[in-house]
């Protein structure tokens, strides 16, 4: 996200605009935590994870009173347009705010889950997947040396994009995601097929939102029903949300920040910047929020074949 913030500030100052940073998202907008940002203020941040502007979930922005306070803060600082980085919650708030107060808002997709409709990538996804793959590579050494079965849980509350890419990239034995259900019985069947080629260990990637249970639950079931497996569990958790961003994330975030300023200057509002087939596009907030991004189940099938 810092690469996007840097790109927004530098592009806007290039166009002689005044730029303000709003701290802690909509919470800071309500509380007036707003500071002028100049080119130099965003130096030395492109390589840092997280966001220098900080972030917060805001219950108050869901209320008309909260949004009125936020509007007053913008007026007090002569702010005429907004760029908001976030996911569907951020854009739902942005859309409502635009409808109520007419301040144009352009969104930049920032969620490691990569589940927003209208964009091939959102900021953070590539870094999260790379971090997860590095972790799985390390776990593989123990799995291989000790002939063990490992369940590795990655983030993805509702979707399996991180799990799918991590599973393919780490050569996992199976990938369990919310979009496709496989029960313990079938999982064991699959593992026994892979065991036919003397493969004695297995790495199974589980999205936290997997329908048939998270990594702990699945490992527990296997322990009860197939004690010979003695499965181990690793939950990668918030490690996936931090650390230096990948090259791809920095590139995408820079392009999105640049494009967001241009879109505002061209008079666009209520749209999210997306990347489709390596081209920058504008996607309406309505579509980004309401349409469902489908996961490519052919990739899951491919991963299964590659693991046999
Ligand atoms: O929305 C992105 C996400 O990474 C989910 O995959 C995960 O469940 C959630 O955030 C964790 O959020 P929090 O840090 O608030 O627990």
Number of H helices, E strands in the chain: 11, 10
Ligand 1 in contact with 113 (CB < 6 A)?
A: yes
Of the candidates 16, 78, 88, 113, the residue annotated as catalytic is 113
- Atom of ligand 1 at shortest range from CA of 241: 4
Ligand 1 centroid–CA 5 distance in Å is: 21
pLDDT at position 225: 84
- Strand extents, DSSP E, the chain: 19-22, 34-37, 82-86, 105-109, 149-154, 174-176, 202-207, 232-235, 271-276, 279-284
Pocket test for ligand 1, best of 54, 112, 164 (most atoms within 8 A of CB): 112
Ligand 1 in contact with 155 (CB < 6 A)?
A: yes
In the predicted structure, residue 192 carries a pLDDT above the cut 90: no
CA 210 to chain centre: 17
Q: The whole model's pTM is what?
A: 0.96
Ligand 1, atom 9, residue with closest C-alpha:
157
Residue 40 or 193, more confident: 40
Here the tokens at position 284 are 């309406």
The terminus-to-terminus CA distance of the chain in angstroms comes to 38
Ligand 1 centroid–CA 156 distance in Å is: 7
Give 271's strand partners.
Answer: 106, 284
Kindly compute the dihedral angle of the four CA atoms of residues 53, 57, 63, 69, in this order, to the nearest 10 degrees.
-20
Give 107's strand partners.
Answer: 84, 272
Ligand 1 in contact with 160 (CB < 6 A)?
A: no
Ligand 1 in contact with 157 (CB < 6 A)?
A: yes
- 62-81, pLDDT tens digit by residue? 999 999 999 999 999 999 99
Pocket test for ligand 1, best of 1, 90, 113 (most atoms within 8 A of CB): 113
Judge whether 113 counts as a catalytic residue: yes
Ligand 1 centroid–CA 241 distance in Å is: 9
Here the tokens at position 42 are 């965003």
- 136-189, pLDDT tens digit by residue? 999 999 988 888 899 999 999 999 999 999 999 999 999 999 999 888 888 888
Average pLDDT of the segment spanning 293-305 = 96
In the predicted structure, residue 11 carries a pLDDT above the cut 80: yes
């Amino acid at each position: 996200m810092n690469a996007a913030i840097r790109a927004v500030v530098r592009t806007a100052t290039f166009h002689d605009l005044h730029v303000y940073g709003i701290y802690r998202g909509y919470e800071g907008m309500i509380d007036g935590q707003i500071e002028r940002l100049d080119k130099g203020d965003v130096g030395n941040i492109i390589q840092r994870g997280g966001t220098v502007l900080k972030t917060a979930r805001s219950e108050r922005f869901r209320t008309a009173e909260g949004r009125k306070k936020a509007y007053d803060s913008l007026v007090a600082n002569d702010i005429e347009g907004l760029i908001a980085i976030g996911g569907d919650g951020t854009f739902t708030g942005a859309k409502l705010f635009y409808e109520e107060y007419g301040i144009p808002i352009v969104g930049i997709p920032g969620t490691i889950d990569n589940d927003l409709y209208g964009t091939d990538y959102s900021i953070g996804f590539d870094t999260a997947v790379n971090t997860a793959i590095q972790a799985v590579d390390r776990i593989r050494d123990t799995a291989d040396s000790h002939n063990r079965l490992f369940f590795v849980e990655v983030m993805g509350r509702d979707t399996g994009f991180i799990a799918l890419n991590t599973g393919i990239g780490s050569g996992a034995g199976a990938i369990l995601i919310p979009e496709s259900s496989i029960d313990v019985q079938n999982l064991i069947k699959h593992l026994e097929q892979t065991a036919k080629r003397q493969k004695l260990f297995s790495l199974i990637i589980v999205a936290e939102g997997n329908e048939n249970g998270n990594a702990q639950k699945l490992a527990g079931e296997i322990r009860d029903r197939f004690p010979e497996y003695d499965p181990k569990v690793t939950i990668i958790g918030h490690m996936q949300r931090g650390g230096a961003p990948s090259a791809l994330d920095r590139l995408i975030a820079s392009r999105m920040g640049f494009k967001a300023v241009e879109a505002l200057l061209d008079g666009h509002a209520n749209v999210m910047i997306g990347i489709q087939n390596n081209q920058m596009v504008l996607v309406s907030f309505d579509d980004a929020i309401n349409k469902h991004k489908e996961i490519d189940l052919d990739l899951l099938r491919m991963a299964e074949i590659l693991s046999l």
